Chain A
Amino acid sequence: SQQGEEDPQALSIQEGENATMNCSYKTSINNLQWYRQNSGRGLVHLILIRSNEREKHSGRLRVTLDTSKKSSSLLITASRAADTASYFCATDFQGAQKLVFGQGTRLTINP
């Protein structure tokens, strides 16, 4: 399967702590994207990292990409209750015309 795999499946931390989620994939990519989905809502794009990039930042988000290990991580710093959501990685595989989504990490921020 070309599907990305996310780890952990669920993560529960205290407000103010940092949250790290990981994504692994199997074949070469053009880019990797992270999305957030709040309960009962559509997915919202967070950040896109290209295969020739190693790190990107957006506000409290930091994404890294290691193409040699075929893995990416999403770090959310200084977490807030509003960050409670499911987070998905999506890979744009070379030769494909579609994004393939992982199964997501369910993040819970406890006040």
Chain B
Amino acid sequence: DTAVSQTPKYLVTQMGNDKSIKCEQNLGHDTMYWYKQDSKKFLKIMFSYNNKELIINETVPNRFSPKSPDKAHLNLHINSLELGDSAVYFCASSPGGRHEQYFGPGTRLTVT
């Protein structure tokens, strides 16, 4: 029943490690997003994909690499994790750019 799901929910790792977060939506939407929410609750878009094609890349360090194997999945791989990467990462989807977005439950990443 879950519309937008993310795994894992919590991720604790050490600096320098590489980790991935997976996202899947079963809504049939064409567009998917990754957002980062910092400790002050400020939510900022990182990437947007439309039908597996990257359409937004918001000056994110190239240690972050999104991958969309198909329209229903958008994964986020992070290389060489840094302390400043600690945040909650949200995946979202929408029928298109002008519509409401549906968010996943978030992945809390803690880098120690």
Residues of A in contact with B (beta carbons under 8 Å apart): 30-31, 33, 35, 37, 40-45, 48, 86, 88, 92, 97-101, 103-104, 106
In the complex, the chain A residue whose C-beta lies closest to that of B33 is A98
B106 touches A103 (CB 8 A): no
B104 touches A98 (CB 8 A): no
Tell me the minimal C-beta distance from B42 to chain A in angstroms: 6
* Interface stretch (choices B67-75, B78-86, B93-101): B93-101
Tell me the minimal C-beta distance from A19 to chain B in angstroms: 18
| Residues on the A chain within 8 Å of B42, using CB | 101, 103
What number of B residues sit within 8 Å (CB to CB) of A?
A: 23
| Residues on the B chain within 8 Å of A104, using CB | 41, 43
B106 touches A41 (CB 8 A): yes
A104 to B42 Cα, complex, angstroms: 8
In the complex, the chain A residue whose C-beta lies closest to that of B41 is A104
Tell me the minimal C-beta distance from B103 to chain A in angstroms: 4
B100 touches A48 (CB 8 A): yes
| Residues on the B chain within 8 Å of A88, using CB | 43
A33 to B101 Cα, complex, angstroms: 9
Question: What are 10 A-B residue pairs whose CB atoms fall within 8 Å in the complex?
Answer: A41-B105, A42-B90, A43-B43, A43-B103, A45-B100, A97-B97, A98-B45, A98-B48, A98-B58, A103-B41
Beyond A45-B102, A97-B55, whether A103 also contacts B40 by CB under 8 A is: yes
Extra contacts, 19 of them, besides A48-B100, A97-B55, A100-B45 (Cβ < 8 A), are A30-B98, A33-B101, A37-B41, A41-B105, A41-B106, A42-B103, A42-B106, A43-B43, A43-B90, A45-B101, A86-B41, A88-B43, A92-B97, A97-B48, A98-B58, A98-B97, A99-B45, A101-B42, A104-B41
